[in-house]
A and B are shown apart, each in its own frame.
Chain A
Amino acid sequence: MASTVPHPDTAEPTRRDFLYVAAGAATVVGAGLAVWPLVDQMNPSADVLALASTDVNLAPIEMGQSVTIVWRSKPVFIRHRTADQVREAAGVPMSDLPDPQADSLRVKDGKAEWLILVGICTHLGCIPLGQKQTDSRGDFGGWFCPCHGSHYDGSGRIRKGPAPRNLEVPPYAFTGDTTIRIG
């Protein structure tokens, strides 16, 4: 634009320059306003966002057993850990963890036997194995993602493989001694 060219005679921006800039800016804003609905329609729609929370009764889950439930169309892993498993998970030194987080921060106070996780590998979204007794649980006794070989420990923390983060803990709260609400 003329005003940006340092020329001795036209160093001062003219009225015409102002009109150019104002018209250009208005066009950009207008184009942005027109494009936004086209972009935003792809985001989750109201009914998807409205998906309610899920209540789970933990009472039937035996010590050592794992179950998978669905929340917001994602699998949620619930593992009723044995005292040994809790002790082992709590005893891992932070320096061994690519994404350091204490086991105690991944469970609710006084409920360390209940581990609740979003069952989606943080690498590229596969469902790790380890929920069934017959599944491979990887090298650290938790879960193993067969897609590209990520190993999670008994607290759902990443230990080995390409996944960058620990298995996510969903927002949940105990609504009774053995009932939780996820979401």
Chain B
Amino acid sequence: MSAHGPRREYDNKILRWIEYRMPIFSTAEGIIGRDMPTPRNLNYWWSFGALLSIALGIQIVTGIVLAMHYIPASSMAFDSVEHIMRNVNYGWLLRYVHANGASLFFFVCYIHILRGLYYGSYKAPRELLWMIGVAIYVIMMATAFMGYVLPWGQMSFWAATVITNLFSAIPVIGDNLVTWLWGGFAVESPTLQRFFSLHYLLPFVIAGLVGLHIWALHVHGPSNPVGISPKGPQDLVPYHPYYTSKYLSVMGIFFIALFAFVFFEPNYMGHPDNYIPANPLVTPAHIVPEWYFLPFYAILRSVPDKLGGVILFGASIAILFVVPWLDTSRVRSARFRPIFKQFFWVFVAVGVALGYVGSQPAEGVMLHIGRILTVYYFAHFLLILPLVGWFERPKPLPESLGTPVLKPAGGAAE
């Protein structure tokens, strides 16, 4: 990424002046412009990465203006959010965009991750790119969790209590650690204030990691639906205008979805109990996290032991980091992996089912279904990924990205 002197002669004088001193335009064009060679066959599933940066931008912009009116003190937080909703000009719009934007952010993120799992985007040489992505996802979860605490309703308060108490399961230091997180002996104003500080900070940490993510992406370029590497210029097209135009159209759909929620069902993804001010003496009868945490919540509850539940909860997310080494197949794309492809869809169904179980009270039959699904979730990564890679006979790979018809005859790896 280092270059000396101008890399492109611009006609515009101002551009040329700046470019000579700091090649910012040519660098940008090398990332998302005409100088970025991109596989010619990327499909719509590849547009979700670009959408994610838009979603992050929306959260940052709406968040900064919300923070101009929000008051992070336990005695005033709830009222300040109501003040935003009722008195601040367009406050309702900004808050609903921020709250629903967070949900959509996760939806897009899940598609992006599943795209990676289906097309094997995490395989060499993109392991680090994948791991940076998982780190972004983890920080996103922390950010959204702390954001959800800010309105200081009943769900906010009890989500904060339950999630911070997860750390009390750690032997020896657990209780001191939780007191340290709280800044007191229960979730209280000091907790809210530090959560606000971090909720403001972490999105910018994410933005920094996105920079690393894109840097890593540019070293070997994006993978593609066929999963073989481009063989030469005939397999590549410039990012701009080919993919910028494609992604802009997807962005239109994203905005339609976002504003459909904001204008017609702004509280659909929220929980009515969060319009009750936080009450430290009464736990709501049925507490549930936001939908995007439900599968992991189901895993947490499926273990009848506190420490065990917390360990599985952490492991269910951390396991994503090592997927590049658990998958033993050298073929990237599920298109050429008939067995893996079926297991992939079973995995998606198990994830959705876990989410449903997480939304139900942890009793009776739901508890048992949750346990079976939890075992399957881990089996997918620890058994199915390694074993299918060993035993599956992949379909023959095409010669190049441009070859439309596959040659018959067997033969696996690239």
Contact = CB atoms under 8 A, between A and B. Distances in A.
Contacts of B3: none
The interface centre, meaning the residue of A39, A48, A145 with most chain B CB atoms within 10 A of its CB, is: A48
B183 A43 contact: yes
A124 B180 contact: no
B395 interface: no
A116 interface: no
Given A124-B162, A126-B283, A149-B363, A42 B194 contact: yes
A124 B161 contact: yes
A149 B185 CA distance: 24
B304 A162 contact: yes
A141 interface: no
B285 interface: yes
Nearest to B182: A44
Given A48-B190, A126-B161, A149 B183 contact: no
B186 A124 contact: no
B234 to A, nearest CB: 52
Contact of A44 (B162, B179, B287, B301): B179
Interface string A121-132: 001111100000
Interface stretch (A6-14, A72-80, A83-91, A103-111): A72-80
Interface in A140-161: 145-149, 161
Contacts of A66: none
Interface string B266-307: 000000000000001111011100000000000001011111
A127 B301 CA distance: 17
B147 interface: no
B276 to A, nearest CB: 15
Contacts of A48: 183-185, 188, 190
Interface in A26-77: 39, 42-45, 48, 68, 70, 72-75
Contact of B158 (A42, A43, A68, A126): A126
A67 B126 CA distance: 60
Contacts of A125: 161-162, 164-165, 168
Interface residues of A, number: 27
Contacts of B91: none
A112 interface: no
A75 B185 contact: no
B225 interface: no
A100 interface: no
A42 B162 contact: no
A72 B307 CA distance: 26
Contacts of B282: 127
A80 B308 CA distance: 36
B368 to A, nearest CB: 13
A77 to B, nearest CB: 11
A124 B281 contact: no
The interface centre, meaning the residue of A43, A148, A163 with most chain B CB atoms within 10 A of its CB, is: A148
Interface residues of B, number: 36
A44 B183 contact: yes
A2 to B, nearest CB: 32
B240 to A, nearest CB: 44
A146 B362 CA distance: 9
B50 interface: no
B285 A146 contact: yes
A145 B184 CA distance: 23
Given A126-B158, A127-B283, A147-B283, A163 B306 contact: yes
A42 B180 contact: yes
B181 interface: yes
B162 A147 contact: yes
Nearest to B188: A73
A164 B162 contact: no
B185 A72 contact: yes
A161 B304 contact: yes
B281 A127 contact: yes
B166 interface: yes
Contacts of A70: 281
Contact of B303 (A42, A75, A149, A162): A162
Contacts of B185: 44, 48, 72-74
Nearest to A136: B285
Contacts of B306: 123-124, 162-164
Nearest to B308: A162
A156 B281 CA distance: 17
Nearest to B186: A73
Contacts of A146: 283, 285-286, 361
B283 A42 contact: no
Interface string B221-237: 00000000000000000
Contacts of B161: 124-126
Contacts of B309: 162
Interface in B133-173: 158, 161-166, 168
A140 to B, nearest CB: 16
A45 B183 contact: yes
A124 B165 contact: yes
Contacts of A120: 186
A44 B162 CA distance: 19
14 contacts: A43-B179, A43-B180, A70-B281, A74-B186, A75-B280, A123-B165, A125-B161, A126-B161, A126-B162, A145-B283, A147-B158, A148-B362, A162-B304, A164-B307
- Among all A-B residue pairs, the 5 with the closest Cβ atoms: A124-B165, A125-B165, A126-B283, A124-B162, A125-B161
